[in-house]
């Protein structure tokens, strides 16, 4: 009896047999992660500072916007370098990932040893396992203090 494993790919189910495992290139070409898995893997690789592997998840012409700071990052290289050059002392904690089709939303907490705790809500588009675009809203916790008039209606967190 031949051992086999069924994976889902872009073109449908892929039966992986020992002979196919030997053809690693075909296996990598045919097996594509679900969009939510791509984003989880993206955050995992950023946390690991595995910058070459982060780049493997991005389309060459990826565009990521940061509306809060008024910036747009064009291209795989630039997105990887912006993250790689960020001052050390941070970690990534994925709070949730939601997806519908090729659209994925992630909420992440990024504590930094000296700069405070940041939260990011990211809206990603993933096609064939690659991030093609994103819009990330980064903010520091408490950066937008609540006005006094709301005090009777809200709880502090």
72 compared with 155, residue with greater pLDDT: 72
Mean pLDDT value of segment 111-117 = 94
- Please tell me which residue, 129 or 4, carries the higher pLDDT value: 129
Q: Report the C-alpha gap between 37 and 39 in whole angstroms.
A: 5
Q: What is the pLDDT of residue 70?
A: 97
User: If phi over 0 gives left and psi between -120 and 50 gives alpha, with beta otherwise, what is residue 95?
Assistant: alpha
CA angle 54, 55, 61 (to 5 degrees): 135
DSSP lists the bridge partners of residue 93 as 109
| Least confident window among 76-80, 119-123, 152-156 | 152-156
Between the CA atoms of 8, 14, 24 and 54, what dihedral angle is there, to the nearest 10 degrees? -10
Which residue carries 């500072």 as its tokens?
Answer: 49
- Average pLDDT of the chain to the nearest whole number: 86
């Amino acid at each position: 009896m031949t051992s086999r494993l069924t994976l889902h790919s872009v073109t449908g189910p892929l039966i992986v047999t020992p002979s196919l495992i030997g053809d690693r290139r075909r296996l990598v070409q045919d097996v594509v992660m679900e969009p939510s898995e791509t984003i989880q893997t993206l955050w995992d690789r950023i946390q690991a500072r595995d910058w070459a592997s982060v780049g493997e998840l991005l389309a060459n012409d990826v565009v990521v916007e940061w509306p809060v700071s008024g910036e747009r990052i064009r291209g795989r290289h630039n997105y990887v370098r912006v993250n790689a050059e960020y001052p050390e002392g941070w970690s990534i904690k994925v709070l949730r990932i939601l997806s519908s089709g090729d659209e994925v939303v992630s909420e992440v907490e990024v504590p930094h040893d000296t700069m405070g705790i940041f939260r990011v809500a990211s809206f990603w588009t993933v096609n064939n396992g690659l991030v093609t675009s994103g819009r990330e809203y980064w903010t520091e916790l408490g950066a937008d203090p609540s006005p006094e008039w709301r005090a009777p209606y809200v709880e502090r967190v």
